[in-house]
Amino acid sequence: MYEWSDAEWLTLQLGPVWVISALLGRSHFDELEQDAFWRAVEEAPVGDSALTWQLMQAISRNREWLLDEFMLDGRSIVTGLSQVTSLLERVSPEISRETREAILRVGSGVARARGPFGRRITDHDAQTLELVAQLLESAAETAANNPLNANVAL
Residue 117 included in any domain: yes
Domain containing residue 106:
6-149
Compute mean pLDDT per 10 residues along the chain, 154 residues long, and list them.
89 98 95 96 89 96 96 96 96 95 97 95 97 90 64 65
Residue 75 included in any domain: yes
Residue 1 included in any domain: no
Nearest to 36 by CA among 45, 24, 49, 25: 24
> In degrees, to the nearest 5, what angle opens at C-alpha 69 toward C-alphas 24 and 32?
40
Number of domains in the chain: 1
Residue 35 included in any domain: yes
How many CA atoms does the CB half-sphere of 76 hold within 13 Å? 5
Residue 154 included in any domain: no
How many CA atoms does the CB half-sphere of 56 hold within 13 Å? 24
Q: Which amino acid is at 34?
A: Q
Interatomic CA distance for residues 124 and 115, integer angstroms = 10
Phi and psi torsions of 31, nearest 5°: -60, -45
Residue 131 included in any domain: yes
Q: What was the pLDDT predicted at 47?
A: 82
Nearest to 56 by CA among 23, 22, 102, 4: 102
| Alpha carbon separation from 54 to 33, 59, 130 (Å, rounded) | 23, 9, 25
Q: What was the pLDDT predicted at 46?
A: 85
Nearest to 110 by CA among 44, 58, 40, 43: 40
